Amino acid sequence: MGWLDALRGIAALVVVFEHSSYAFMAEFRRELMPEFNTSRYGIMVFFLVSGYIIPASLERRGCIRTFWIGRVFRVYPLCVAAVTALLVLNLVGIAEIRADFGRQSAAAVAVAHVTLLQELLGTPSLLIVLWTLSYEMAFYLLVVALFTVRLHQRSAAVAVSLSVLAVVSAAAGVMLPASALSDTVGTGPLIALASIAMVVAIFCASAGSPALRVFGGVLGGVLALVLVAFNGTVSMWEGLVILAVMFLGTAVYRAENGQSTWLCAACTAVVVVACAVGSAYGHDDGGYFTRRGWIVAFLLAVLTFGVGLAFRRRRIPRWLTGLGTISYSVYLLHPVLLAVTDGTIGRSRRDNLALEVAFFAVLLPLCVLAYRYIEAPSQTYGRKLARRVQSP
């Protein structure tokens, strides 16, 4: 799995540059973004890697209950630590929180973030990068849904179906406003309903009764699809493309492990790429988000994953796999550090490569410590707990 760690490490660095360039390399960023959307490149690589790994994790365990335990102790501890650090630093006046929650109550914001579906529930993320975790959580719910109805082997068909839906929605001009459901039923009621549905879905899917497992799985899958399609902060077509990309990663995993053919995976990749490019082609906001920049980033992300796959049996440099090991810390902690720099030294009006390098020099050791003292212990405890509750 070293090649996957390497890909995560590369993606994390690109995402950090995307966000830190706002503060330290603004002139360069203005020139780069219309040609190459670095944000979309990094997250698409992450989504491909997640698609490869997550279903494998569930199927290796063969138990939905232990799958959710593993996910909780993998995702939440560092997330809670990062958000807590940001709130404390903001309280003492060192960091600056830029999210605008409007009239939402603190309780609604908190509940939305606890589900990790906040970006799909009309609630801005406290940390800018948390929006991708909402799509990750939707993917988890869909993977569990397919597992409960015994369709988890149909990853290629799911990826193709989502891709086709994406291009159809784009061609039909389905341009719903961001958080359309929230605007219709209200953000608070939607958060309450979705949170209850999610808890019920996870509880039932983890139960011993086959009927309850199917009910819980289907409920969670429907919830995920509805929120991604009708309440995301990205366009419907891009939300569907994100899910399709993750299932493309799963299709590659199945080919790699003899559960499918490489021809099937290759055909799936062709369809997903063609539909994604076709969906993006008609969308251009004239600013940083250009169809050219998005398409170039998407194609390079798929190419990067393909190169990693081709060299998967080669020796991967230890520094690169090590960077992948701490990539989650890099991903979650760099917005906190940026909030500190925004609240203290401010943003540079001209490109300042020295500050950009200094930012990475401070961030990476901090992430090593976060991995050692937060991530690793929580994952170890999660594995121990999962073994204790493992179904016979």
Q: What's the whole-number mean pLDDT along residues 10-30?
A: 93
Polymer length of the chain:
392
What pLDDT was estimated at residue 182? 86
Sequence-ordered list of residues with C-beta below 8 angstroms from that of 281, at least 6 positions apart, any chain = 291, 295
What pLDDT was estimated at residue 360? 96
Q: Which residue has the tokens 């086709």?
A: 164
Closest to 245 measured CA to CA, from 31, 29, 43: 43
Asked if the model's pLDDT at residue 246 lies above 80, the reply is yes
pLDDT band at 98 (very low <50, low <70, confident <90, very high): confident
What pLDDT digit, counting tens, does each position of 125-155 carry? 999 999 999 999 999 999 999 999 999 999 9
3-state secondary structure of 34: coil
More confident residue, 34 or 391: 34
What pLDDT was estimated at residue 207? 87
| Cα 187 from Cα 107, distance rounded (Å) | 12
| Cα 86 from Cα 212, distance rounded (Å) | 39
Backbone φ, ψ for residue 20 (5° rounding):
-70, -25
pLDDT band at 392 (very low <50, low <70, confident <90, very high): very low
What is the residue-averaged pLDDT of the chain? 92
pLDDT band at 327 (very low <50, low <70, confident <90, very high): very high
- As given in the structure block, the two tokens for residue 12 are 């994390």
Q: Which amino acid is at 143?
A: V
What pLDDT digit, counting tens, does each position of 179-197 carry? 788 888 888 999 999 999 9
3-state secondary structure labels for all residues of 268-291: HHHHHHHHHHHHHHCCCCCCCCCH
DSSP 302-355: HHHHHHHHHTTTSPPPHHHHHHHHTHHHHHHHHHHHHHHHHHTT---SS--HHH
**Among 12-16, 342-346, 352-356, which stretch is predicted with the lowest mean pLDDT?**
342-346
| Cα 137 from Cα 348, distance rounded (Å) | 35
What pLDDT was estimated at residue 286? 53
What pLDDT digit, counting tens, does each position of 80-92 carry? 999 999 999 999 9
| Cα 321 from Cα 390, distance rounded (Å) | 30
What pLDDT was estimated at residue 174? 66
Buried b (16+ CB within 10 A) or exposed e, 62-90: ebbbbbbbbbebbbebbbebbbebbeebb
- As given in the structure block, the two tokens for residue 274 are 């063609």
Neighbour count for residue 127 (Cβ, 10 Å): 23
| Cα 347 from Cα 26, distance rounded (Å) | 9
**What region does 163 belong to: left with phi over 0, alpha with psi -120 to 50, or beta?**
alpha
What pLDDT was estimated at residue 348? 85
Asked if the model's pLDDT at residue 294 lies above 60, the reply is yes
What pLDDT was estimated at residue 284? 61
Q: Which residue has the tokens 């429907």?
A: 222
Angle among Cα 386, 78, 306 to the nearest 5 degrees reads 80
Residue 388 to residues 65, 69, 382, 383, 392, Cα–Cα distance (Å): 11, 11, 10, 9, 11
Q: Which amino acid is at 225?
A: L
Longest dimension (CA), the chain: 62
What pLDDT was estimated at residue 288? 60
Closest to 245 measured CA to CA, from 297, 322, 284, 171: 297
| Cα 272 from Cα 251, distance rounded (Å) | 11
